[in-house]
Amino acid sequence: MPAHHYTGLAGQSYDQPAQAGVLLVNLGTPDAPTAPALRSYLAEFLGDPRVIEYPRWLWWLILHGVILRHRPARSAHAYARVWTPEGSPLRVGSEKLAAALQARLSRSAPGPVRVGLAMRYGKPSVREQIQQMQRAGVRRLLVLPLYPQYSGTSTGSVIDAVADTFRQLRWPPELRIINGYYDDAGHIDALAQSIERWWAEHGRGDRLLLSFHGIPQRYVAAGDPYLHQCQATGRLLRERLGLDASQLSMSFQSRVGREPWLQPYTDETVRRFAAEGVRRLDIACPGFAVDCLETLEEIAMQNAEFFTGAGGEALRYIPALNDSDAQVANLAALIQRHAHGWPEFTSGAAA
Q: Which residues are part of a known binding site for Fe(2+)?
A: 213, 294
Which string of DSSP letters, residue by residue, matches 202-260? Answer: H---SEEEEEEE--BHHHHHTT--HHHHHHHHHHHHHHHHT--TTTEEEEEE---SSS-
Give dist(CA 243, CA 48) in Å, integer: 39
Give dist(CA 214, CA 48) in Å, integer: 17
Give dist(CA 84, CA 95) in Å, integer: 14
Helix (H, G, I), strand (E, B) or coil at 23: strand
Give dist(CA 58, CA 69) in Å, integer: 16
Give dist(CA 83, CA 333) in Å, integer: 32
Helix (H) or strand (E) holding 138: strand 138-145
Give dist(CA 109, CA 124) in Å, integer: 26
Cis peptide before 110 (omega within 30 of 0): no
Binding-site annotation, residues: 213, 294
Phi, psi of 336 (to 5 degrees): -60, -45
HSE-CB of 271 using CA atoms within 13 angstroms: 10
